Amino acid sequence: MAIVCCIFLILQNLPCNAFMKKSAGKDQDSSITVPIGGNSWRLDKDTLGGNISNDGIVNWTDKNAAFVTYVRFAKKGSFKLYLNLKVPVGETVLSVTALNKTRAITVDGNVVEDHYAGEWPVKDTGYVSIKIMAKSKTGDIYADIPSLKLTGTGIKESTSFVKNNEGDFFYWGRRGPSVHLGYVVPDNKNAEWFYNEVTVPKNNDVLGSYFMACGFGEGYFGMQVNSATERHILFSVWSPFSTDDPKKIPDDQKIVMLKKGANVHTGEFGSEGSGGQSYMLYNWKAGNTYKFLVRAKPDGNNHTTYTAWFFAPELNEWHLIASFSRPQTNTYLKHLHSFLENFDPEQGTITRKVYFNNECIADENGKWTELTKARFTADNTGAKGYRMDYSGGVDGKTFYLKNCGFFNNYTTRNIFFERPVTGKMPDVDLDKLP
C-alpha cells in the first residue's frame, strides 16, 4: 500500500511523505459521554424540585435549581456539547454556560436523545465547569438529563471525569480523591510512639473533611468536621477479622476497649472494615496547631495495646482519647501515614488543605527520631484519573496535602518529598501521660 501511495504522489509531482505528514498533523475529533450522576452537583442546595441521582438530573421542577458538571481537559482545542435528555411534557428552554460563554437551547421530546448546545474553544488545559440553568418550560418538569456528550479536538483519552458507576464510583468520584503521605521509617527502629502536628489553614475546615494525623497499619487518629456545629477527635482500630459488619466479628477477634478519657465516646464502626472506635467532641479551630500521639505496645501474649492522646493549645494538656487491645497482633507501629479525605459527596466541589509538621517516632526506650521523608499517593479516584484535583508536597519546613474543588495544578503520584531536619523533638513527658 505504501508503494502504491508513493507512485501516486510521484506522478502528482509531490514528495512521498507530504500527504502522510499532513494527515498525521491534523487534529481528529474524539467523543466522550460524561454521566451526570458522578460528575455533577446542584448549585443551590437549599432549593427543592431538582436533584442529582445516579440516573442524572431528575425531578427538576424548580426554576431556581441549577447544576454544574466538571470535566478536566488535558489538551487545547475545542468541544461541541450535547445534552442527553428528555422533556416528559411540553417544551423547555435551558441555558448552558462554559468558559464565560452562555448559549440558550430549546428542547422537547419525551425520549432521551442528544440535543446540540453549542461549541466552545478550550484555550488551556485544566478543569472546565459546565453550568445548566432553567429559563422556561410549558410542562411540569424542565428535563431529565442522564449525561452530556462532548466531541471535538480538545477531547482525548486522558480527559478526566468519572466514566461510570462500576465499583460505586459515582459516590467516590463526587467525594473526590483522598491523598496520603507515607512516612519513611528507618529500618533499625521499632516505632512504639508516633507523634504528629496538624494545622488546618483558616477557611479550609470544610464540612466532611478528615485530617488524619497518625495512621498505622491497624488504625488511624485525627480530626474531623462532622457538621456545622460538631467536630470530632477520632481514633479507630480495625479488627483482625475482615468484615464491613461489626456484628459479624467473632468474640475472640473483637477490639477491646481498655480505658478512655473524659467526654470520649466509644463503640464499634463498620462499612470500611470494622473495629473499635472512639471520639471526643471538640470544637477545634482552623489556624491553630494540634498535637497527636499514638502508641503501640505488644503485651507478649499475641495482643497489642494501641493508645491515643490529643493536645490542643486551648486545653494546654495531653488528653487521653482511648486505649484498645487488638487480638492476634504482636507488633510495633508500622506503615505510618497521614491522609486528607472528604467523606461528604456534596462537599466535593470545595478545596481543603492541611499541614503536617514535626513528625517523630520514639522506640521502646523513648528515644525520638524525626521522620523527614514521605511518599505522596492518592486513592483509586485519583489513580484512575477520574479526579485530578489532588496535591501534596513541602511548604517551607512542613508537609501539606490538598484535595477537591477542581483546581488545575495536580501533583504527580508516587513521588517522595523531604522536609528539612529541624532537630525539634516532641515536648511531651511519656511517663506522665494520662
Q: What pLDDT, on a 0 to 100 scale, did the predictor assign at position 252? A: 86
As a whole number, mean pLDDT of residues 25-42 equals 86
264 pairs with which residues across the strands?
A: 280
pLDDT of 217 higher than 50: yes
pLDDT digits (tens, 9 = 90+) for 128-166: 999 999 999 999 999 999 999 999 999 988 999 999 999
More confident residue, 96 or 2: 96
User: pLDDT averaged over the chain?
Assistant: 92
Mark out the alpha helices in 169-230 (DSSP H runs). 169-175
pLDDT of 2 higher than 70: no
Q: Which triple of cell numbers denotes residue 259? A: 480505658
pLDDT of 26 higher than 70: no
Q: Domain coordinates of the chain in residue numbers?
A: 29-162, 174-432
More confident residue, 8 or 398: 398
Q: What pLDDT, on a 0 to 100 scale, did the predictor assign at position 17? A: 39
Quick one: pLDDT band at residue 9, thresholds 50, 70, 90? Answer: very low
Q: Enter the DSSP assignment of 7.
A: H
Quick one: pLDDT band at residue 271, thresholds 50, 70, 90? Answer: confident
Q: Which triple of cell numbers denotes residue 381? A: 479516584
Is the separation of the CB atoms in 224 and 284 below 8 Å? no
pLDDT of 212 higher than 60: yes
Number of helices and strands in the chain (H, E): 5, 29
Q: What pLDDT, on a 0 to 100 scale, did the predictor assign at position 248? A: 84
CATH number of 29-162: 2.60.120.260
* Residue 282, phi then psi, degrees to nearest 5: -150, 125
The H-or-E segment that residue 53 falls in is strand 51-53
Distance CA 7, CA 2 (A): 9
136 pairs with which residues across the strands?
A: 93
pLDDT digits (tens, 9 = 90+) for 306-342: 999 999 999 999 999 999 999 999 999 999 999 999 9
User: What is the percent of the chain where pLDDT is above 70?
Assistant: 93
357 pairs with which residues across the strands?
A: 197
Quick one: pLDDT band at residue 7, thresholds 50, 70, 90? Answer: very low
Mean pLDDT lowest among 183-197, 258-272, 397-411: 258-272
As a whole number, mean pLDDT of residues 54-75 equals 96
pLDDT of 397 higher than 60: yes
Contacts of 141 (CB under 8 A, 6+ apart): 59, 60, 61, 87, 88, 89
Q: Which of 240, 241, 417 is nearest to 338 (CA)?
A: 417
User: What is the percent of the chain where pLDDT is above 90?
Assistant: 84
Q: What pLDDT, on a 0 to 100 scale, did the predictor assign at position 28? A: 66
Q: Which pTM was predicted?
A: 0.90
Quick one: pLDDT band at residue 22, thresholds 50, 70, 90? Answer: very low
As a whole number, mean pLDDT of residues 341-369 equals 97
